Chains A and B, each alone.
Chain A
Amino acid sequence: MQHAFEAGTLVAIIAGIVGYFVVLRRSSFAAHALSHIGFAGAAGAVLIGISPVFGLLLFTSVGGIGITALGPRASHRDVQIGTVLAFMLGLGVLFISLYTGYATEAYSILFGEILGISSLDVIVTAVAAMIILCAVAAVYRPLLFASLDEEVAEAKGLPMHMLGIVFMLLVALATSIAVQVVGVLLIFSLMVTPAAIAQRLAKQPWRALLASVIVSLLATWLGLFVAFYEPYPVSFFITSIVFIFYMVVRFIYPRIRWNPIRAQTKPLINRHYADQPCQ
Chain B
Amino acid sequence: MNLTFVDWTIMVIYFAFVLGIGVALKRYMKTSTDFFLSGRSIPAWITGLAFISANLGAQEVIGMGASGAKYGIATSHFYWIGAIPAMVFVGIFMMPFYYGSRARSVPEYLKLRFDEKTRGLNAISFAVMTIFSSGISLYAMGLLLNVLLGWSFSFSILMAAVIVLIYVFMGGLTSAIYNEVLQFFLIVFGFAPLVFLGLRDAGGWAGLQTRLTDVATANGYGSGAWTHSWQYMGAPTSNPMGVEWFGLAMGLGFVLSFGYWCTDFLVVQRAMAAKSMSAARRTPLIAAVPKMFFPFLVILPGMIAIALTYKAGGSGFSLPKKLDGTFNYDLAIPMMLGHYFPSGMLGVGLTALMASFMSGMAGNVTAFNTVWTYDIYQSYIKRGASDEHYLWMGRMATVFGIAVSVAAAYVATRFNNIMDMLQLIFAFVNAPLFATFLLGMFWKRTTGHGAFFGLVAGTVAASIHHGLTLPAGAVAGIKGGWFAVQHIYPSEMAQNFWTAIFAWTSCFVVTILISLVTRARKESELVGLVYSLTERPKDDERRWFQRPATLAVLVLLAAVILNIIFW
A and B assemble together:
no
Chain B interface residues toward A at CB < 8 A: none
